């Protein structure tokens, strides 16, 4: 897979997609990487939406007693 360059929302979403896939043990740069076409497209759309929504304030962590 070619190197991802640029700072467009789409390029950042693609990089995020690759990061999410690697975190789940999927290598999208290999043939038959492990996700279906639908899973890749859904995840990319989620990544693009996350990038376009801007920074979100993290919810405070709840302490369990």
Q: 0.85 exceeded by the pTM?
A: no
Residue 6: per-residue pLDDT: 84
- The tokens for 32 are 């038959």
Helix (H, G, I), strand (E, B) or coil at 8: coil
Measured distance CA(13)–CA(47) in Å, rounded: 5
Give the pLDDT mean for 3-16: 89
Q: What is the spatial distance between Cα 33 and Cα 1, in angstroms, rounded to a whole number?
A: 12
Q: Where are the alpha helices (DSSP H) in 1-65?
A: 9-23, 37-53
Domain ranges of the chain: 9-53
Residues 31-65 pLDDT 10s: 777 899 999 999 999 999 999 997 767 667 677 65
Residue 11's Cβ-side half-sphere holds a number of Cα atoms within 13 Å equal to 7
Query: Could you tell me if 43 and 20 are in contact, meaning their C-beta atoms sit under 8 angstroms apart?
Result: yes
pLDDT at position 34 is: 86
């Amino acid at each position: 897979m070619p190197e991802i360059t640029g700072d467009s929302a789409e390029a950042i979403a693609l990089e995020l997609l690759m990061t999410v896939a690697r975190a789940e043990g999927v290598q999208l740069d290999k043939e038959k990487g492990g996700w279906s076409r639908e899973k890749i497209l859904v995840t990319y759309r989620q990544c693009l939406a996350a990038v376009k929504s801007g920074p979100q304030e993290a919810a405070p962590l709840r302490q369990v007693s």
